[in-house]
Amino acid sequence: MFALILPAIQQNMADDLFTSETDSAFLLQSLDRLSRLNTRCLSERLKPYGCAPGYTAILDALAAGDGITQKELLDRLSIEQPTLSKSLDRMERDGILTRSRDDRDRRRLVIRLEERGKRLISVVSNARKELDTVASQGLTINDIRYFKRISRQIAASLEQDADSPLLVLADVLDE
């Protein structure tokens, strides 16, 4: 879920947003904007620690279970293999983690957090909490609950769409 929350809008303004044809993509454009703002704000908070926002999902996965293979890590994340490999290379270069042969099975490379990586887990957690506080300023508890419910509903709809066969609008492509 995004750490940033769209500021509460008066009901009449919200109704107006979805009434014209030009605003038909407002919802996903807003989510995209929130995602970009979240990444930018998180990046600014993590920059002094030498931690990129792209490292956070990997740190989260390794915090849940250190000493796993790259395949196991990939199964926990929703990113592509080449992206994970590049991120792991950078994180290893930056002293955040190590990849070494498993003592029991020399064919396996095991990923483990270095001390710096373990400290970054706390830094990331604190940055997210701070950013969540900033994002929720001016919102009521009901605004936040409603946003969570709507976010889950949107995510479920998008996941269902992602799992369905691709619909190609051939008539649009022929133009």
8 A C-beta contact, residue 112 and residue 97: yes
Instruction: For each of the domains in the chain, give its residue range(s) and CATH number, in order of start.
Output: 11-152 (1.10.10.10)
Mark out the alpha helices in the chain (DSSP H runs): 11-17, 26-46, 56-64, 70-76, 81-93, 115-135, 141-163, 170-173
Say if pTM beats, i.e. exceeds, 0.85: no
User: What is the rounded CA–CA span in Å between residue 33 and residue 27?
Assistant: 10
pLDDT digits (tens, 9 = 90+) for 48-63: 999 998 899 999 999 9
Structure tokens at 99: 């990849």
Give, to the nearest 10 degrees, the angle between helix 81-93 and helix 56-64: 80
User: What is the rounded CA–CA span in Å between residue 91 and residue 112?
Assistant: 11
pLDDT digits (tens, 9 = 90+) for 100-112: 887 787 778 899 9
Ranges 3-17, 22-36, 74-88, 146-160: which has the least confidence: 3-17
CA 30 remoteness from chain centre: 16
Ranges 74-78, 85-89, 104-108: which has the least confidence: 104-108
